[in-house]
Amino acid sequence: MTADVPFAIVTLSLVWIADVYEEFARWEAYDDAQDNFCDTNEEDDDIEYVDLLLNPERYTGYKGKSAHRIWHSIYMENCFRPKNSYGAYIQTSKLSEQNSLISHPDGKWGANLEEFHRRFDPELTAGEGPQWLKNLYFLYLLELRALAKAAPYLMREEYFTGNDQEDVEVRQAIKDFLNVVRSFPDHFNESSMFTGGKQAKKLKEEFRQHFRNISRIMDCVGCDKCKLWGKLQIQGLGTALKILFSGKFDAVDPSGADLSQMSKNKFQLQRSEIVALFNAFGRLSTSIFELEQFREMMR
């Protein structure tokens, strides 16, 4: 605004800005949401915080018509049919919910080889079982790539909880972990997906909308613990997809020395997204470890 502009116009402009500030904030929130693959529901009045260590993921017995309706709805939203190489995400929560653990008569938890065969034996799954297990490795590499790509950003985070000693330990542990992640090259080449101009852009948007619908479907799960871990892992995968395909990390210096481009894009992961990403990757890592244990048992 120049000095020779009449005072009345300046006043009018200030009033106008005050009136539409909330609208601008709404626009910004909308623009930010275009990068998201999940509905986070962070502003829900009924939101509750839980300690994941006190609520470990394990077999809950959730089954029957309600569970079948949820899975049917998810499959109907699955725009990546089995022939598609990245139709993998649908198996993530499925495998992690099973996680090969059962309740024995004596009250202990253990591996169930019979159940593993039932769910993944090619003769009992119309040949699909081995592909589902391959999907698990695919997702692992995809999330590993997202962590490597976002490593410069994640290393700059404060991870504040209010406990100074624990915050220092968490920051150091994350830096050590991300250094290991970045030491493995060629996790996954996201540039090979959604290539081909306008059609690819349309496919990417369809992909994002279907995935958002799946995150909403998870709200309908009738088992609280299943919903907790299902939504956590869906959001973790959604965060990985956001990192890989939003374009906000494409110009970031891998060394982390220059994050100016990211600052220009005003990109910021929410706390819940970071927590979900680390926990989702942890569950995938655990599932792969347990898969190797089953292979040892079958030898």
Q: Point out the annotated binding site for FAD.
A: 58, 60, 71, 119
From CA 233, how far away is CA 279, in angstroms rounded? 7
From 38, 79, 220, 223, active-site residue: 223
Dihedral angle, C-alpha 195, 196, 199, 202, nearest 10 ° = 30
Q: Which two tokens stand for residue 240?
A: 């990985």
* 3-state secondary structure string across 208-233: HHHHHHHHHHHHHCCCHHHHHHHHHH
The CA-to-CA distance between both ends of the chain, in Å, stands at 77
From CA 240, how far away is CA 233, in angstroms rounded? 11
Beta-sheet strands, E only, within 149-256: none
From 38, 79, 220, 226, active-site residue: 226
Give the other-Cβ count within 10 Å of 222's Cβ.
Answer: 12
From CA 214, how far away is CA 90, in angstroms rounded? 9
109 in helix, strand or coil? strand
Q: Verify whether residue 226 is a known catalytic residue.
A: yes
Annotated binding site: 58, 60, 71, 119
For residue 162, the 8-state DSSP code is: S
Q: Verify whether residue 223 is a known catalytic residue.
A: yes
How far, CA to CA in Å, does 248 sit from each of 32, 100, 150, 253? 11, 38, 10, 12
Dihedral angle, C-alpha 170, 175, 177, 180, nearest 10 ° = -170
**Active-site annotation, residues:** 223, 226
